[in-house]
Chain A
Amino acid sequence: MPRSLIDFAELLTRVENDRELMRDLLSIFKEEFPRRHRALREAVKSLDTKQVASEAHALKGMLSNLAAREAAGAAARLEQLGRDGKSAEFRESLATFDNIAEELLLQLDARKAEVSG
């Protein structure tokens, strides 16, 4: 069984066991994440270091709020690369981020019934 990329126990602590708020946050995430993810890819493609840092920062915040530590860490690495102007390392870090994000979305779908019930 793959490791869980979202720590639901921690997430529930963050929302003080308010499952309605948790569903609300997950719903916002599902809506916002693809747009932000696309924007990050665009920024990486155009080697726009400032924009990479900005988009990665926003993604890091969203993922941290979801208690998705590993994905937030990957976003943080991209943010730091953007701030340091290390555009040569963008693609490799983005690929790592993409993989984690893909798995995270799959896990969210798999637990859809649980989190939306």
Chain B
Amino acid sequence: MRILVADDEIMSRRLLQKTMERAGYEVTAVGNGRLAADELCKSEGPKLALLDWVMPELDGPGVCREVRKRKEQSYVYMILLTSKEKRENVVAGLESGADDYLTKPFDPEELKARLRTGMRILDLEDRLVEAREGMRFQATHDALTSIWNRGVIMELLGRELARSRREGKCTAILLGDLDHFKRVNDTYGHLAGDEVLKETARRLLSSVRSYDFVGRYGGEEFLVVLNNCDPAYGLTRAEDIRKIIDLQPVQTSGGLVPITMSLGLLLSQEWGYRSAEELLQEADAALYAAKGAGRNCVKVATPKIQPDAGEISVPELARRRR
């Protein structure tokens, strides 16, 4: 565990440094408050600190206040070490954001015990952060496939839509649907169906760039947003994705399951100023056209392809193509 020791008085600094090193800490020692604050405010800075009260440039309470201002970073457990023993000093020290307070000259055993308290609090914080990250993942990702869930992929699409309009760049929306998925479930069982969905998500992720988005739009329906790509590239990528899905059967607990995907592609040059939902209706119409053309193919959405697409509701389109 790394610890910062800040004391302008060289004897105290040496004593603290040695005591901490003997206790197994990795010590960074500085001689003024400004250096201490800078060190603690680094994203990978120490999470434990022993701070002298009286220091040049910035005093101990000043360091605490600066560190506490930066709320986005991990918690730093700070102990003020000082000869100021008056009650109002204790209150002022703690009010500045210090977690604990120890008077000089310190007893090494007491200091180490107090640092262990700090370690317990930091450990608790780590576990809370881990739990929060876990919940955040669950709230944003599809539980089965671990790709973006519908809510998030729609949000990302909306954001990308605004960006491409602002920057005048081309983006592509790909709406893909596994062909005859109901048959997979009926023939191989739901467990195998789930395995197919997971493998499909993996194949989709492996076939796009790190800055593209892949999400589960519905049951066996996937939405891919290809950022900043020219129209020719969008079509090529859509065809590549179709081939990757079709390349080999999926190994499942129910046996080898051959899969194919139909895809509807919409390029941003056709977008105008319509909403993400409206655009998805067009991509969905193109997907419907791909289903109608025999499945396992890509169809590009244009208003001319499906003049009546706007008259068909999305649920109706979904029902028709299954």
CB of B74 within 8 A of chain A? no
In the complex where A16-B108, A64-B83 touch, is A58 in contact with B18 (Cβ < 8 A)? no
In the complex where A32-B10, A58-B9 touch, is A16 in contact with B105 (Cβ < 8 A)? no
Name B105's contact: one of A14, A29, A58 (CB within 8 Å).
Answer: A14
Q: Provide the bound-state CA to CA distance between A55 and B11, in Å.
A: 15
Interface contact A61-B12, CB-CB below 8 Å:
yes
Q: Provide the bound-state CA to CA distance between A89 and B76, in Å.
A: 43
Shortest CB-to-CB span from A82 to chain B, Å, is 13
Shortest CB-to-CB span from A8 to chain B, Å, is 14
**Interface residue count for B (Cβ, 8 Å)?**
16
Interface contact B22-A18, CB-CB below 8 Å:
yes
In the complex where A21-B18, A57-B54 touch, is A14 in contact with B11 (Cβ < 8 A)? no
Interface contact B18-A32, CB-CB below 8 Å:
no
CB of A77 within 8 A of chain B? no
Q: Provide the bound-state CA to CA distance between A58 and B8, in Å.
A: 9
Residues of A within 8 A of B54 (CB): 54, 57
- Interface of chain A, helix or strand or loop or mixed? helix
Question: Which of A29, A32, A58, A65 has the largest number of chain B CB atoms within 10 A?
Answer: A65
What 0/1 readout, one digit per residue, does chain B (29-42) give for beta carbons within 8 Å of chain A? 00000000000000
**Interface residue count for A (Cβ, 8 Å)?**
22
Interface contact B9-A25, CB-CB below 8 Å:
no
Interface contact A61-B18, CB-CB below 8 Å:
no
Q: Provide the bound-state CA to CA distance between A86 and B9, in Å.
A: 25
Interface contact B12-A28, CB-CB below 8 Å:
no
CB of A67 within 8 A of chain B? yes
Interchain residue pairs A-B with the least CB separation, the first 9: A64-B105, A61-B9, A65-B11, A21-B18, A62-B11, A28-B11, A16-B108, A25-B11, A28-B10
Q: Provide the bound-state CA to CA distance between A116 and B251, in Å.
A: 75
Interface contact B108-A14, CB-CB below 8 Å:
yes
Interface contact A18-B11, CB-CB below 8 Å:
no
Interface contact A21-B15, CB-CB below 8 Å:
yes
CB of A105 within 8 A of chain B? no
Interface contact B22-A16, CB-CB below 8 Å:
yes
What 0/1 readout, one digit per residue, does chain B (156-196) give for beta carbons within 8 Å of chain A? 00000000000000000000000000000000000000000
Shortest CB-to-CB span from B303 to chain A, Å, is 79
Within 8 A of A (CB), among B232-272: none
In the complex where A25-B11, A28-B10, A32-B11 touch, is A61 in contact with B108 (Cβ < 8 A)? no
Residues of B within 8 A of A13 (CB): 107-108
CB of B302 within 8 A of chain A? no
Residues of B within 8 A of A24 (CB): 14, 18
Residues of A within 8 A of B19 (CB): 16
CB of A95 within 8 A of chain B? no
CB of B104 within 8 A of chain A? yes
Interface contact B22-A65, CB-CB below 8 Å:
no
The residue in chain B whose Cβ has the minimal distance to the Cβ of A29 is B11
Name B83's contact: one of A14, A18, A61, A67 (CB within 8 Å).
Answer: A61
Question: Which of B8, B9, B104, B108 has the largest number of chain A CB atoms within 10 A?
Answer: B9
Residues of A within 8 A of B10 (CB): 28, 32
CB of A15 within 8 A of chain B? yes
What 0/1 readout, one digit per residue, does chain B (113-145) give for beta carbons within 8 Å of chain A? 000000000000000000000000000000000
Residues of A within 8 A of B12 (CB): 61-62, 65
Shortest CB-to-CB span from B102 to chain A, Å, is 13
What are 9 A-B interface contacts by the 8 Å CB criterion? A14-B105, A16-B19, A24-B18, A25-B11, A57-B54, A61-B12, A61-B104, A65-B9, A66-B11
Shortest CB-to-CB span from A57 to chain B, Å, is 6
Question: Which of B19, B54, B105, B107 has the largest number of chain A CB atoms within 10 A?
Answer: B105
